[in-house]
Amino acid sequence: MALLPSAGRAQAAWLDRPICVIVPFPPAGGTDVIGHEIAARLGAATGWNLVVDNCPGAGGNIGLDAVAKAAADDHMIGLGQTANLAINPALYPRMPFDPPRDFALVTTLALSPARRRSRRSGSSRCLPQLMTLEGHMEEHPAAATSATTPTRLPYLGTKGTR
């Protein structure tokens, strides 16, 4: 958090109101838990008043749009993640903000490892077994079985969706 102003008496005028921490996802999710924990710890360490505000919607775009359009007075902090800073710009044709232009990275708060799970009775219980199974499926696609029958749906693009 080195880019945030440091606490001190000389900054009393800067702290004329609470710092809003925008969590662009609903309460009780991972980003919300981290947002509340960071706000509590940062507030305890600095004496600042931090208020967490959940602004969910549009894959996090609504909350981060509020951060992008906020006054540049350091009284609003947004918790962004890969989903709304890297993936959403590739999914949505019109974004309400431009991540590289509108945001500056202050710090990385958390990393979320990707994990692969399988049933204990499954045929792949470790990564080498999984890789062997996937290689076999690529070479012999008929060997893949499913309890459902896939249905092909024609892609309509944006036609009829607006």
What's the rounded mean pLDDT across residues 116-145?
59
Distance CA 17, CA 76 (A): 11
Nearest CA among 84, 75, 76 for reference residue 56:
84
CB 18 within 8 A of CB 49: yes
Contacts of 103 (CB under 8 A, 6+ apart): 64, 67, 68, 78, 80, 85, 97
How far is residue 104 CA from its own chain's centroid? 15
What kind and span of H or E run contains 20? strand 19-23
pLDDT at 1: 25
Flag whether pLDDT at 143 surpasses 60: no
pTM (two decimals): 0.64
Give the lowest-confidence range in 2-6, 70-74, 102-106.
2-6
DSSP letters for 65-92: HHHHTS-SSS-EEE---HIIIIIHHHH-
